[in-house]
């Protein structure tokens, strides 16, 4: 009979989880020793970077990623980036090593104390198997729970002496198991929604990250075209679910109650698909909806449906719903929406490159299907004003708002995308949270291009200080960081530029080099 360790590798193989992201400690060595040749181990130098790399990998490939952390200490280091995986519905299967089973409760060195409670409330589910024989079944349960709606990260703590125990015969069934969701709108629900859309005088479509995650962007376009709908992206956008140069595109809704209400004023029906209703940020109170406006919310997450403060929610498969709605509605007689105006022209003045000019330059020289992982929070408006995003899975942003996702996630996304160029657009404040991922990119020759926008301060925080009327506060500035030297120390080629022309030269040199590259760009301070 196979032991628990061998059976677990067979289980991971059956689910396509043959890439392991980790930073090992003593508790993890019995699982990793003699890892099968068809598996690959991606080492990160800090568990926060490990978790974010796995998150970027999972988002880009549209499936799970397997993470191996070191007991309580490693789990704690990963909790910050874990918040992004929660709100982006990333099905991460996270494991951590526990001390030998006989010592649980004694709190010996490197014990994972009260392990199932440690990552809560962030994870969707967590467990520590009650006995060694239950380890494969518990990991199987974790994989299935992570991938059933609503997807999300899960956590399993495994005592390290369990791996050598004999696996029970019954675990063979685990290798053949599958689970799938089958929720869809009933014919009556679909019919009511189609009638409402056909009857609405001025409907509007609001799309969220799950549209992109479910590969339903084209279905959203068909619906928008058939009804000639204006289309907004829901507030706090972590993905791009609609082509940004489509004539219906209106931008990203502001992340404040009154801002959303103002933007939706005049619409009698709001159809929200694949987004929470809504993820506000700055507190600007007001009425949740304009007077007389009806909101219908399509979501794959029952928790999102339950906690929304307004509207009518239908829990369903987003892709199935949008495709069937687009097929069911009548083509409208409303006039076609006018084409979008051209991109605003921005010319940098003074010291440093204006972010909008940087993004305009990038739009011209980057591959059409480039994937952008962005964590430059002070340049959000400039980015959306300049970029032409038309491909599925082209944009990822930290879903929780916490820093530390961007740079490692770009490395992970590039690992998943051999056929597309990944570009990380990272603020100089954000970069420091996950800078160790550069070492991983260098060691594994992951050809990601990291563009660091360097303005010497936490730009978004300075803007928020104005919103809160907080005045001057300490800890706002991060001057005198030399990212070229830091990147070089990790083994990554790097250069620093100040003009659009020099950036274009550096970016073109990085393209197709087969190696990671860092381009530090001196930029002007802007507001989100």
Residues 193-214 pLDDT 10s: 999 999 999 999 999 999 999 9
Residue 526 has pLDDT above 80, yes or no: no
Best CA proximity match to 11, nearest among 107, 139, 106, 97: 139
Mean pLDDT of the chain: 94
Residue corresponding to tokens 């449906």: 305
Q: What letter would DSSP give residue 228? A: T
- Can 501 be counted among the known catalytic residues? no
Higher-pLDDT residue of 181 and 262 is 262
Q: What is the share, in percent, of the chain residues with pLDDT greater than 70?
A: 96
b/e 473-511 (16+ beta carbons within 10 angstroms → b):
eeeeebeebebbebbeebebbbbbbbbbeebeebbeebe
47 belongs to the catalytic site: yes
Q: Are 151 and 86 in contact (CB under 8 A)?
A: no
Is 520 noted as a catalytic residue in this protein?
no
Phi–psi pair at 125, nearest 5 degrees: -160, 145
Cα 525 from Cα 71, distance rounded (Å)? 41
**Domain locations in the chain?**
4-176, 187-328, 355-522
Strongest mean pLDDT among 172-181, 362-371, 474-483: 362-371
CA distance 447 to 370: 13
The yes-or-no verdict on residue 270 having pLDDT over 80 is yes
What per-residue confidence (pLDDT) applies to 468? Answer: 60
Active site annotation includes 28: yes
- Average the pLDDT over each of 279-283, 386-390, 417-421 and give the range with the smallest value: 279-283
CATH number of the 187-328 domain: 3.40.50.1220
Residue tagged active-site, from 15, 22, 28, 80? 28
Q: Given the residues 47, 128, 141, 357, select the one marked as catalytic.
A: 47
Q: What is the pLDDT of residue 207?
A: 98
Return the SS3 of 522: strand
pTM of the model: 0.94
pLDDT value for 460: 63
The catalytically annotated residue of 26, 170, 186, 513 is 26
Q: What gap in Å lies between CA 419 and CA 371, rounded to an integer?
A: 11
Spot the catalytic one: 281, 456, 488, 527: 281
Contact 57, 416 (CB under 8 A): yes
Fold of the 355-522 domain: Rossmann fold (3.40.50)
401 is catalytic: yes
Q: Is 70 a catalytic residue?
A: yes
Q: Indicate which residue of 311, 401, 402, 488 is catalytic.
A: 401
Catalytic member of 15, 46, 70, 89? 70
Structure tokens at 343: 């991109």
For residue 361, give the nearest of 379, 342, 387 by alpha carbon.
Answer: 387
Predicted pLDDT at 116: 94
Residue 361 CA to residue 504 CA, distance in Å, equals 7
Q: Which residues contact 148 (CB under 8 A, 6 or more apart)?
A: 179, 181
- Angle, vertex CA 184, rays to CA 182 and CA 186, nearest 5: 130
> To which residue do tokens 């974790």 refer?
142
pLDDT at 327: 97
pLDDT tens profile 27-72 = 999 999 999 999 999 999 999 999 999 999 999 999 999 999 999 9
The CATH number corresponding to 4-176 among 3.90.1150.10, 3.40.50.970, 3.30.750.80, 3.40.50.720 equals 3.40.50.970
Can 187-328 and 355-522 be said to share one CATH topology?
yes
The values of phi and psi at residue 40, to 5°, are: -125, 140
467's enclosing H/E stretch is: helix 459-467
Judging by DSSP bridges, how do beta strands 92-98 and 154-159 pair with one another?
A: parallel
Give me the pLDDT at residue 284, please: 85
What 3-state class would DSSP assign to 14?
helix
Q: Name the pLDDT band for 457 (thresholds 50, 70, 90).
A: low
- Long-range CB pairs of 467-470 (<8 Å, 24+ gap) are 467/282
**473 — pLDDT class (breaks 50, 70, 90):** confident
Active site residue 15: no
Q: Confidence band (pLDDT; 50, 70, 90) for 459?
A: low
């Amino acid at each position: 009979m196979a032991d628990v360790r061998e059976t677990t590798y067979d289980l991971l193989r059956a689910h396509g989880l043959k890439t392991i992201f980790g930073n090992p400690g003593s508790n993890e060595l019995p699982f990793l020793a003699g890892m099968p040749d068809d598996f690959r181990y991606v080492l990160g130098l800090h568990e926060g970077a490990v978790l974010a790399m796995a998150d970027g990998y999972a988002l880009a490939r549209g499936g799970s990623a397997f993470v191996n952390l070191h007991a309580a200490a490693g789990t704690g280091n990963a909790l910050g980036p874990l918040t992004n995986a929660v709100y982006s519905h990333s099905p991460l299967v996270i494991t951590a090593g526990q001390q030998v089973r006989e010592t649980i409760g004694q709190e010996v060195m490197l014990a994972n104390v009260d392990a199932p409670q440690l990552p809560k409330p962030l994870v969707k589910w967590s467990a520590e198997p009650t006995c060694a024989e239950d380890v494969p079944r518990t990991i199987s349960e974790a994989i299935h729970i992570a991938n059933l709606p609503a997807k999300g990260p899960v956590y399993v703590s495994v005592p390290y002496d369990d791996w050598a125990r004999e696996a029970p015969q019954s675990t063979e069934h685990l290798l053949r198991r599958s689970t799938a969701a089958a929720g869809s709108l009933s014919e009556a629900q679909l019919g009511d929604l189609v009638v409402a859309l056909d009857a609405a005088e001025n409907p509007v479509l609001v799309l969220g990250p799950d549209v992109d995650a479910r590969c339903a962007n084209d279905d959203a376009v068909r619906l928008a075209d058939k009804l000639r709908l204006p289309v907004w992206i829901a507030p706090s956008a972590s993905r791009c679910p609609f082509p940004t140069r489509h004539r219906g595109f209106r931008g990203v809704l502001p992340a404040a109650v009154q801002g959303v209400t103002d933007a939706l004023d005049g619409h009698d029906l709001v159809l929200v698909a694949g987004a929470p209703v809504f993820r506000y940020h700055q507190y600007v109170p007001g009425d949740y909806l304009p007077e007389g406006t009806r909101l219908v919310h399509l979501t794959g997450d029952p928790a999102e449906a339950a906690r929304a403060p307004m509207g009518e929610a239908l829990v369903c498969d987003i892709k199935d719903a949008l495709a069937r709605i687009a097929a069911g509605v009548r083509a409208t007689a409303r006039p076609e929406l006018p084409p979008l105006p051209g991109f605003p022209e921005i010319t940098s003045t003074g010291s440093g490159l204006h972010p909008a000019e940087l993004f305009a330059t990038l739009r011209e020289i980057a591959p059409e299907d480039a994937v952008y992982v962005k964590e430059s929070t002070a340049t959000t408006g400039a980015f959306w004003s300049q970029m032409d995003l038309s491909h599925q899975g082209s944009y990822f942003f930290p879903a929780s708002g916490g820093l530390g996702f961007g740079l490692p996630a770009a490395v992970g996304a590039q690992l998943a995308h051999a056929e597309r160029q990944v570009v990380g657009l990272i603020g100089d404040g954000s970069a420091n949270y996950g800078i160790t991922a550069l070492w991983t990119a260098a060691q594994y020759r992951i050809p990601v291009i990291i563009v660091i926008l360097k303005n010497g301060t936490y730009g978004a925080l300075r803007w928020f200080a104005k919103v809160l009327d907080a005045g001057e506060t300490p800890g706002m500035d991060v001057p005198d960081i030399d990212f070229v030297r830091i990147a070089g120390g990790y083994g990554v080629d790097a250069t620093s530029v100040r003009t659009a022309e020099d950036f274009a030269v550096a970016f073109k040199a990085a393209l197709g080099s087969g190696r990671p590259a860092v381009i530090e760009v001196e930029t002007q301070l802007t507001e989100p």
